[in-house]
Structure 1
Amino acid sequence: MSLFKAASTISVLTLASRVTGLLREFLIAAAFGASAMTDAFNVAFRIPNLFRRLFAEGAFSQAFVPALAHSKERDGFEPTKRLIDSVATILAWALLLTCAIGVIAAPVLVWALASGFQRDPRHFEIAVLLTRFMFPYIGFMSLVALAAGILNTWKKFAVPAATPVLLNVCVILAAWLLAPRLQAAGVEPIYALAVGVMVGGALQLGVQIPALRKLGLLPRVGLGWSRLKEAWHDEGMRSVLRTMAPALLGVGVAQISLLINTQIASWLPAGSVSWLSYADRLMEFPTAMLGVALGVVLMPQLASAKAADDPDRYSAMLDWGLRLVLLLSVPAAVALLVFSGPLVATLFHYGAFTDADVRQVSLALAGYGVGLLGLVAIKVLAPGYYASRDMRTPVRIAIVVLVLTQLMNIAFVPWLQHAGLALSIGVGALINATWLLVGLMRRGSYRPSPGWGLFAVQVLAATALLGVFLTWGAHSFPWVQWRAQGWLRAGAMAGMLAASAAIYFTALALAGVKLRQFVTR
């Protein structure tokens, strides 16, 4: 499977995930609006997701996937299978302990993430109960990350990319069917969303099992003491742990930033946490469809190139990924900056979601849009370090960027409120990506291929034309006033997006960009 085909497969499946994710947020917005209850759910759901960064797609994947690719390339099937079994055993024990502690310590975790909730005892209590119910979700998702790392290394990208749809479908059904029944029974309906999360997590893990079994790579998890000791002394597993140590610090830095931002948002006007959450959901479209897809595809391939001592292939893959990032993320960033209002109105402006909510989410989305290029580029540049088992450099960069981000919060939040938090993240991402890029070039790992200057001018020219069109569209239609005419608004949005794609890619073609090069590289 070519890199482009693999990335396209993941992008299409990720699109399905993000579409169902938007439908999920649409139903939540229509049913609950941006309220104290949605703030409580978003914080409670953020807590297991915060820990998931440690045990799942964050530090664990950054350490495990390169080690797995290296073992597959050099050691053969049997040693690699032993590595998988040992890592799965240690991971399972760590998850059992973490989940038990998390359920017990839920009040402390909610206070640490959103101490502002204590202003309303009922608000705080509901957040604690939701956290206790959803905390075991990290167990499901961490094991899903283990399975995804294995399948992606064997170039089986479809199943891991498709599974997030299951979570969204389960939460949608819970919001649609279970929430009204709970409300009729006199129970707070927000609890239905927690049920959907847990069922979705279990299903996501379940669908990985047949794919792993077909490859003969279903992990054998040992819960006995003797098996635990054997796994602990496995040299390959200990190598993963050694690599994870600096990666944990790096992920921890990112989570500290998230924790601080959520704390700040919890002291801002009610709804601020939810406004940021809705904006983040829209940001996941470009970051996941492009950044995550490229990162998933490139990580094992870059690690394989390193193991095979092939620096030319390594550099060429990075160059291909970065050109694709520039091609697609720059116009997406401009769209978020000048067209955020119509996007938010079309997707969320129904039911309990007010005109004021549209304005506040649009401001946050524009703030994120400033740094979209950096947010996506990091997903390509960071694997360039991880594939070389260099976790320390990205960590050092992340620590400095964390400090800079919080300094920017001091300047931006009093002025822009919750949107200042989004803007700080965006600017920080640009700094982070630039630093990572310069580091790879200085060490000679990445050597840009000829033609970058002309390519950048072509992309910027086509994007400028797109920006003019979107600015016209944002001010020429009554997007917010079309609240009662949902189908008309949706049709206008579909037309704008189709016309935008046609304008941008036609302009690129007229400027001389040959899109076929991204398929054949």
Structure 2
Amino acid sequence: MNPPSPEASPPVKAPAGLLRSSGIVSVMTFLSRILGLARDMVFARFIGAEAGADAFFVAFKIPNFLRRLFAEGAFAQAFVPVLSEYRTQGNHAAVQALVNAVAGCLGSALFVITLLACLGAPWVAWLFAPGFAADPVKFALVSDMIRITFPYLLLISLTGLAGAILNSYDRFAIPAVTPVFLNISLIFAAVVASEWFEVPVLALAWGVFAAGCIQLLFQLPFLARIHLLPVPQADFAHPGVKRVMTLMVPALFGVSVSQINLLLDTVLASFLPTGSVSWLYYSDRLAELPLGVFGVAIATVILPSLSRQHAGADAQTFNRTLNWSLRMILLIALPATLALLILAKPILSTLFLYGKTTATDIAMSTYSLQAYALGLTAFMLIKVLAPGFYARQDMKTPVRIGVVAMVANMVLNLAFVLPLHFYWQLGHVGLALATAASALLNAGLLYAGLRQRQVLLPDGQWRTFAGRLLVGNGALLVWLLAIMQWAPAWSVVPWWLRTVWLAAICGVGLLVYVLCLLAAGVRLRHLRNQ
């Protein structure tokens, strides 16, 4: 390729440290997740866990699941290494041509998929929620909403393309804050627009569609600033497009396996009592809070770095980056797991026990949240272990591991849910427990694969770090167990008292954890990628 042209190249920022970049993404994502919790509180008040809620959550989960495959999974993992290579070895014209071709091919393919899904909405509904077929009203409602929500896949996947480009050029904040618009749109739809519809829950479907348009339009000016605004050209013969497609197909079963497992949970939950889909939704949303704020943030930041390090044959820095990311995940995931296990009912009661949501709904959601929490650390580790393969353009290994984990999940689903014995009838809790177990298997196999290839070699900091984690998490566990002996009856006290108690418990718990880490010797310099 020709050397870069200084006149044509976009301005390139000096790469920030991984801790700083992760912090930026985490803060922006945290804002989005807080609004997401507000959105779910609105859902709990206005739609609860009734049949209409189940129908919307299924209709929304289908394109949202596919979005995660593209925006956070297969597409991003395949596109970012290729884009990084073009950026490192080529000139700006070559990068622009790649972006144009990928945008055209991705957009045209997703347009066809979206059109077919809208035309065949009842078949899509039957495929993803076959249990709803027994209820004609619920089945017709979910089919109607699929026609409205499915175009979100096209819009948000193009938004994911824009975000991947910005992340590759170290513009992390804009893609991280973009999901805020989805939450704002859905809150407006539930509180205001629902009164405009004969079937109020349809307003939420239109809110999803509007959010997709807003999110895509929001990122375009920032692409223009780095002179990479796509001019879509459906050039499937472009060498870069071929490479992305080659890498993308197997990547569908890599980092996104946990999302496939969650979707399979929805399919099986459609056969369970009314409310099961909603209970899983509310508990999954809370389990995803630390995953989205920290796990995805760190994964987003390290993938471009790992890709550049691999392209530059810098194996030592590659290994150091992976070790740093694993330590950061454990620093957050372990206390978050303890908090979700012990505070599941207080958190759910404080956030969702309003309006149409009942104490029974909270109890059922508590059980599934605790089951999901058992796999939280594994969910987060998958986010940073998989990029270790994708940055090296090794897609086959995560595919094999993903298939093993997915099969294990289905076997466990059947074992926990089918009424073979009375003590195995765990219902929706069994689905969550199976998902957590398969995530543990997935993370373990990914780690073993990186070790076997000598790509990930534990450095000398792990023994000291493990001891410090033990001190911090041990103290947090003692605090949570002790304070829960004095906590109020969460389902009967006023909402403001629930909020005060929960804020106090979490605030003091965070303080205990941080102070004990400091007492054990943890300092800010230990958290930097050195």
Instruction: Compute the TM-score of the two structures, normalised by the length of structure 1.
Output: 0.95
Which 10-residue stretch deviates more, 430-439 or 51-60?
51-60
**Which residue of 182, 199, 202 corresponds with 1:191?**
202
Which 10-residue stretch deviates more, 510-519 or 173-182?
510-519
- 1:25-44 correspondence runs (5 A): 25-44=40-59
- 1:341-490 correspondence runs (5 A): 341-413=345-417, 414-483=424-493, 485-490=494-499
**Which residue of 338, 343, 358 corresponds with 2:342?**
338
Q: Show the counterpart of 2:510.
A: 501
Q: Show the counterpart of 2:313.
A: 309
Q: Show the counterpart of 1:176.
A: 191
* 2:22 paired with 1:13: no
Distance 2:391 2:21 in 1: 18
Distance 1:251 1:136 in 2: 24
**Which residue of 291, 299, 318 corresponds with 1:295?**
299
CA contact (8 A) 1:349 1:480 kept: no
Counterpart of 2:177 in structure 1: which amino acid? A
Distance 1:462 1:509 in 2: 9
Which 10-residue stretch deviates more, 41-50 or 467-476?
467-476
Which 10-residue stretch deviates more, 433-442 or 165-174?
433-442
- 1:160-188 CA deviation, whole Å, 9 max, x = no partner? 00010000001001101111343xxxx11
For structure 2, which runs of at least 5 residues remain unmatched after alignment?
1-15, 418-423
**Which residue of 263, 266, 273 corresponds with 2:267?**
263
Instruction: Compute the TM-score of the two structures, normalised by the length of structure 2.
Output: 0.93
Whose helix proportion is higher, 1 or 2? 1
- 1:406-446 CA deviation, whole Å, 9 max, x = no partner? 22223333432111111111121111111111111111111
Q: Show the counterpart of 1:129.
A: 144
Distance 1:323 1:54, change over 3 A: closer
Counterpart of 1:208 in structure 2: which amino acid? Q
SS class of match (1:476): coil
SS class of match (1:416): coil
CA contact (8 A) 2:32 2:183 kept: yes
CA contact (8 A) 1:482 1:488 kept: no
- 1:306-335 CA deviation, whole Å, 9 max, x = no partner? 001101111111111000111110010111
- 1:287-323 CA deviation, whole Å, 9 max, x = no partner? 0111100110001110000001101111111111000
- 1:141-290 correspondence runs (5 A): 141-182=156-197, 187-222=198-233, 228=234, 231-250=235-254, 256-290=260-294
Q: Show the counterpart of 1:94.
A: 109
Distance 1:216 1:357 in 2: 50
Which 10-residue stretch deviates more, 506-515 or 60-69?
506-515
State the Cα distance separating 1:95 from its structure 2 match.
Answer: 1.4
Distance 2:481 2:445 in 1: 32
- 1:58-98 CA deviation, whole Å, 9 max, x = no partner? 21111101100111111132211111111111111111111
What percentage of aligned pairs have identical amino acids? 41
User: What is the CA RMSD across the aligned residues, in angstroms?
Assistant: 1.5
For structure 1, which runs of at least 5 residues remain unmatched after alignment?
223-227
Distance 2:489 2:42 in 1: 19
Distance 1:369 1:284 in 2: 10
Distance 1:259 1:335 in 2: 25
Q: Show the counterpart of 1:51.
A: 66
State the Cα distance separating 1:251 from its structure 2 match.
Answer: 6.8
**What is the number of equivalent residue pairs in this alignment?**
509
Distance 1:512 1:52 in 2: 42
Q: Which runs of 4+ in 1 moved over 6 A?
A: none
Counterpart of 1:432 in structure 2: which amino acid? N
